[in-house]
A and B are shown apart, each in its own frame.
Chain A
Amino acid sequence: AQTVTQSQPEMSVQEAETVTLSCTYDTSESDYYLFWYKQPPSRQMILVIRQEAYKQQNATENRFSVNFQKAAKSFSLKISDSQLGDAAMYFCAQSQGAQKLVFGQGTRLTINP
């Protein structure tokens, strides 16, 4: 079975600093998608960033970028210039075929002013 592991239950960072959230996954498939989702305290889960496994170039979305290491099955999220609004639970997810997703356990990110 495919698994996604987030080894950091909680992280904290000073406002304006950079933080990296870790994610590893296990799959035998060669073509898949990886995602980072954010769940703020209001609970609406929203997509942060998406990476296609066949693309070598790391995805970026403004202050958010990923470090995708396919051979190592690693997919970390870097948040630059952290803002108070970045405080949330962050979930890493991998597509499992047929548009299903497998999620990690989540990392709670705190931003210190």
Chain B
Amino acid sequence: DVKVTQSSRYLVKRTGEKVFLECVQDMDHENMFWYRQDPGLGLRLIYFSYDVKMKEKGDIPEGYSVSREKKERFSLILESASTNQTSMYLCASTIPGLAAYTDTQYFGPGTRLTVL
């Protein structure tokens, strides 16, 4: 089974803190994604990565950065957390090269981040 894990289910941080959200997948997926989920807005793409050390901005990258030093790990970084970054953060990855699974994303359990 595909397994995507996230480092924390719940996280509470203070305004101005640097926050790291970690995501790990165990199936050699090449593509990994970070979304935030807000009520009434669905999921919005923050950043994605096609390979190690490669990253591309999604629809709402402002205030965030990412790091992918190893293929299995994709980190989301909030350089200076703000209250408007309080949200649910979901990580996902995709299976490469298998036509039957093209574009199908597999999700982690999510991290509920609260910034006070």
Please determine whether A91 and B109 come into contact, CB atoms closer than 8 angstroms. Answer: no
Asked, given contacts A99-B31, A99-B94, A100-B48, whether A105 binds B42 with beta carbons under 8 Å apart, the answer is yes
CA distance A45 to B108 in the complex (A): 7
Q: A43-B109, A100-B48 are in contact. Are A106 and B42 (CB under 8 A)?
A: yes
Contact: B104 with A50, CB < 8 Å? yes
Tell me whether A9 and B42 are in contact in the complex, defined as CB-CB below 8 angstroms, given that A45-B107, A46-B107 are known contacts. no
Q: How far is the CA of A98 from the CA of B48 in the complex (A)?
A: 10
Contact between chains at B42 and A91 (CB < 8 Å): yes
Please indicate the chain A residues that have their CB under 8 angstroms from the CB of B92 in the complex: 45
- How far, in whole Å, are A93 and B58 apart by their CA atoms in the complex? 15
* A45 contacts B45, C-beta separation under 8 Å: no
- In the bound complex, what is the Cα–Cα distance between A50 and B45 (angstroms)? 20
Q: Which of A33, A37, A46 makes the CB contact (< 8 A) with B103? A: A33
**Residues of the B chain whose Cβ atoms lie less than 8 Å from the Cβ of A103:** 35, 42-44
For A93, list chain B residues within 8 Å (CB).
43
Q: Which of chain A's residues has its CB closest to B107's CB? A: A45
Per-position 1/0 for B34-58, Cβ under 8 A of A? 0100001111110010100000001
Bound together, the chains give a CA A33 to CA B101 distance in angstroms of 10
CA distance A112 to B63 in the complex (A): 41
A 30-89 contacts with B by CB, 8 A: 33, 35, 37, 42-47, 50
Q: A33-B102, A99-B94 are in contact. Are A105 and B107 (CB under 8 A)?
A: no
| In contact, A99 and B43 (Cβ under 8 angstroms) | no
Establish whether residues B104 and A105, one from each chain, have CB atoms under 8 Å apart when the complex forms.
Answer: no
Question: Taking CB as reference atom, which chain A residue is nearest B96?
Answer: A99
Cβ–Cβ contact A44 & B107, under 8 A: yes
Chain B residues with CB below 8 A from A37, complex form: 107
Q: Are B109 and A99 in contact (CB under 8 A)?
A: no
User: Would you list the 4 A-B pairs with minimal beta carbon distance, nearest first?
Assistant: A45-B107, A95-B103, A103-B43, A103-B42
**7 examples of A-B residue contacts, CB within 8 angstroms:** A33-B102, A43-B109, A99-B31, A99-B103, A100-B33, A101-B45, A104-B42
